[in-house]
């Protein structure tokens, strides 16, 4: 093979290997719940015991759940600001001040950060310097719903009862859908459908492209602040009982296609926490101080763990462990399989923030005004991620097949060129 084609093959190999690494190492935590489906998980390998790496003090309570992308942490505070911090040492990169508190969680897509403030605006900033790209007014406070960004669209709920769909590039309105109550739930997007709960007691399924109603499920006028999670064609969400009506607070499982009820599990108190689903189990917290683990297929109880106070935080489930905050000021790490306590870390205030995981570190906020980063006490040894799932198998095989096809193509061209050159030389011989 000529030096020219050898160089091409080497470049292809380097790019392809890099692609494999990117596919298998999905460390970023770019939005609330990690992704548009709200899986609350990534493929990080986690340590057995954790300690404080750094903490950063803001000017107000940090109810916002941190998102972490490309080594930067983005998080809001009740001091009206959105912060961008270095994920490794907690130093301030920039901050952006809004007109009111920021409790929702930002979403980071294509070098832009999207978030809402209680001043009624949805903001889009440049991730490099925090400069404003655009903002959209929802005409009422947007308190707790967090934006979901997918396929060039931003989806967000508002206290004015509307679900909005905006163009992610310029902030123009694509459509809006009116429910009968405030929307504190964060939209979940899957298979061109948007799922969101409202304080009118309905869970809605909306067409992601035109905002038309697919179906809605009624829960007897109870409020829904919990954000839906979707796995294997099922949608899971929690229910509050704000008006103390007949039905107890409940976790629901519905068919994601038609909204029919699969099962429901009654808890002792509100379920504002958003569920996480992993390996056929559902994890969530309640205001009755318990962390629950249910069978995802029939709703039976696997285990529950009691903390010292209410749980507003939503769990992250990574590497066989459940990470979740409690109003008792502790961040808990439990064994995902039996619910036993691995460790807990105490802050100076209640934890409403939901943890995000990046490069095996745990990021979260507290009502003591601090953003926290915990790291493993013992350095982690680099091990390849699991490849026993169909997703990982496909993610690994596709780039390898592509490499082989490209190399074969280059070799074929080179041989053809060599053959033509030889033929030309023979044809020109006297």
Burial class (CB in 10 A: 0-12, 13-18, 19+), 385: middle
Between these two residues, 422 and 140, which has the higher pLDDT value? Answer: 140
Give the range among 114-128, 208-222, 304-318, 332-346 with minimum mean pLDDT. 208-222
In this predicted structure, what is the pLDDT of residue 381?
52
Backbone phi, then psi, for 419, in 5-degree steps?
Answer: -65, -45
pLDDT digit string, tens, across residues 164-200 = 999 999 999 999 999 999 999 999 999 999 999 999 9
pLDDT at 354: 97
pLDDT at residue 37 greater than cutoff 60: yes
Residue 216 has pLDDT above 90, yes or no: yes
- DSSP annotation of 9 reads H
Distance between CA atoms of residues 363 and 55, nearest Å: 9
pLDDT for res 425: 44
pTM value? 0.82
Q: Is the pLDDT of residue 140 over 90?
A: no
Sign of CA dihedral 21, 27, 31, 32: positive
- Whether 244 has a pLDDT exceeding 80, the answer reads no
The predicted pLDDT at position 32 comes to 95
Asked whether the predicted pLDDT for residue 312 surpasses 90, the reply is yes
Instruction: Write the pLDDT tens digit of every residue in 251-278.
Output: 999 999 999 999 999 987 889 899 999 9
Strand partners, 202: 218
Residue 80: left if φ>0, alpha if ψ -120 to 50, beta else—which one? left
pLDDT at 20 over 50: no
Residue the block writes with tokens 């992993």: 278
Facing residues of 281 across strands?
278, 295
Share of the chain above pLDDT 90, in %: 73
Structure tokens at 44: 């990080």
Segment 384-421, tens digit of pLDDT: 433 333 333 344 444 555 555 555 554 455 554 444 45
Segment (H or E) for 390? helix 390-427
């Amino acid at each position: 093979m000529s030096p020219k084609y050898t160089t091409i093959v080497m470049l292809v190999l380097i790019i392809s290997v890099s692609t494999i690494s990117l596919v298998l190492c999905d460390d970023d935590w770019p939005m609330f719940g990690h992704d548009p489906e709200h899986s609350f998980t990534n493929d990080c390998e986690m340590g057995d015991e954790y300690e404080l790496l750094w903490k950063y003090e803001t000017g107000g309570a940090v109810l916002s759940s941190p998102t972490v992308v490309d080594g930067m942490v983005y998080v809001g505070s009740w001091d009206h600001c959105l912060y961008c911090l270095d994920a490794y040492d907690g130093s301030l990169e920039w901050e952006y001040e809004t007109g009111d508190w920021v409790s929702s969680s930002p979403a980071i897509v294509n070098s832009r950060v999207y978030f809402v403030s209680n001043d009624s605006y949805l903001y889009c900033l440049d991730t490099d310097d925090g400069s404003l790209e655009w903002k959209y007014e929802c005409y009422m406070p947007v308190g707790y719903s967090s934006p979901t960004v997918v396929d060039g669209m931003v989806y967000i709920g508002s206290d004015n009862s509307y679900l909005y769909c905006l163009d992610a590039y310029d902030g123009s309105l694509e459509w809006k859908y009116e429910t009968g109550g405030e929307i504190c739930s964060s939209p979940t997007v899957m298979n061109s459908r948007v799922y969101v709960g409202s304080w009118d007691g309905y869970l809605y399924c909306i067409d992601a492209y035109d905002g038309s109603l697919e179906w809605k499920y009624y829960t007897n006028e109870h409020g829904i602040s919990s954000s839906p999670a979707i796995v294997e064609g099922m949608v899971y969400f929690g229910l509050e009982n704000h008006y103390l009506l007949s039905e107890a607070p409940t976790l629901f499982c519905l068919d994601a296609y038609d909204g029919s009820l699969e099962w429901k599990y009654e808890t002792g108190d509100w379920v504002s926490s958003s569920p996480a689903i992993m390996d056929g189990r559902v994890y969530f917290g309640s205001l009755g101080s318990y962390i629950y683990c249910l069978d995802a297929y029939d709703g039976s109880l696997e285990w529950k763990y009691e903390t010292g106070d209410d749980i507003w935080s939503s769990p992250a489930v990574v590497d066989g462990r459940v990470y979740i905050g409690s109003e008792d000021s502790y961040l808990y790490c439990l064994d995902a399989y039996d619910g036993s306590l691995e460790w807990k870390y105490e802050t100076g205030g209640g934890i409403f923030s939901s943890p995000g995981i990046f490069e095996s570190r745990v990021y979260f906020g507290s009502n003591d005004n601090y953003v926290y980063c915990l790291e493993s006490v013992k350095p982690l040894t680099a091990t390849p991620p699991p490849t026993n799932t169909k997703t990982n198998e496909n993610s690994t095989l596709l780039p390898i097949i592509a490499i082989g096809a490209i190399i074969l193509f280059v070799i074929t061209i080179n041989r053809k060129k060599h053959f033509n050159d030889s033929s030309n030389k023979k044809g020109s011989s006297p």
